[in-house]
Structure 1
């Protein structure tokens, strides 16, 4: 067990942080929602009712979809684009998907390579792009959940104000939907761009996201230099 915790510590830490912050969001979101209901002369809702509600789901899904879109585009961009000096990038000249020999697939796979890396055809193509496909699928499902839950919330607000109900199609092209969406997207892209650029010149000793402290600024990665 101690070895498992040591070997998976990074994943476990972020899983714990995720659970804590999600629970905290549900608690403060429940309190905020009941404050708004009280201001409109409506009865409060219970905690369990709130975390099953569209109000809670739309806020959670809104953040999830932007995070997974960020990683989907970052993974895709790093295949074809480089940034000299950034540890987040391959070295200039290494653009592209790489050869089978470099990727240890097919005839060049090792005995301990994943089984699908030793396959060919569709299985190899799927496994070769499995990270990007998974990130893209989670983004799409989160975006769909945001759209569906946001549509319910928007129609509940329309009903309270005596306005006509919207179709799902009307909602996903509405300024409200894209205002919620784009304010998350721009912050995610800013964070990724800042990480790529700042890591050229700044260091964090001991972090795998940073070059070694003494590495020259122009070096993209210590390995292979």
Structure 2
């Protein structure tokens, strides 16, 4: 029970993620089968549906937009600030900060991670590991979206008695960029909303909010 309590936030989101993914699979199967029956084709099972390019591209395009959001947020908040927002560092603290502030190298504490005490490439990699992993997952999921999207797009083209397209033609097509940009704009709007709304609005007890009584101009203060 102690372990569950200490990891409750990640466990709650993991469970909700799995439920949402399962729900998407079921709803997607029902939606596809409705169209399959209308065209006189055989319906698919849920397992058959989750192995299709249609399901893969829908999942991948959402994942890549989410990780793009987190990658940009992680990188841009190093150098850019927003006065009054909990999502920003204090106005005068922009930048990568000193070794002493980051507790690396000679300034590492006894309980600091081992790589925080390293030097050279290992320290650079660990110092930027969050952004690097977020960026890598974005690129991998965007690549998966392009491959699965090409397969799904060509399936539809063949059904319409049109020639399939190459991967290069697909990733430069309006279809691919429409899928990508409609997700990007929603994620960027969500981050913008959080940055701005956290200046003026409060949520008591949440680390994403300033204390209820904090001034609107207070920056980088968490409740």
TM-score by length of 1: 0.97
d(CA) in 1 for partners of 2:119, 2:212? 41
Offset at residue 37 of structure 1 (A): 1.1
Between 42-51 and 112-121, report the one with greater CA deviation. Answer: 42-51
Equivalent residue, structure 2, for 1:42: 41
Q: Secondary structure at the match of 1:214?
A: coil
Equivalent residues in 2 for 1:8-157, closer than 5 Å: 8-157=7-156
d(CA) in 2 for partners of 1:152, 1:38? 22
Unaligned runs of 5+ in 1: none
Report runs of 4+ in structure 1 exceeding 6 Å deviation: none
Offset at residue 41 of structure 1 (A): 1.5
Offset at residue 221 of structure 1 (A): 2.7
d(CA) in 1 for partners of 2:149, 2:87? 35
d(CA) in 1 for partners of 2:41, 2:193? 44
d(CA) in 2 for partners of 1:113, 1:45? 52
Q: Secondary structure at the match of 2:179?
A: helix
Q: Secondary structure at the match of 1:96?
A: coil
Equivalent residue, structure 1, for 2:205: 206
Once the two structures are superposed, residues 78-103 of structure 1 have per-residue CA deviations (whole angstroms, 9 ceiling, x without a partner) of 00000011011000110100000000
Unaligned runs of 5+ in 2: none
Between 189-198 and 155-164, report the one with greater CA deviation. Answer: 155-164
Once the two structures are superposed, residues 133-187 of structure 1 have per-residue CA deviations (whole angstroms, 9 ceiling, x without a partner) of 0000110111011100010011111111111110000000100111111000000
d(CA) in 1 for partners of 2:159, 2:29? 20
Once the two structures are superposed, residues 183-205 of structure 1 have per-residue CA deviations (whole angstroms, 9 ceiling, x without a partner) of 00000000000000000000000
The answer on 1:161 being equivalent to 2:160 is yes
d(CA) in 2 for partners of 1:190, 1:47? 33
Offset at residue 71 of structure 1 (A): 0.4
d(CA) in 2 for partners of 1:160, 1:53? 15
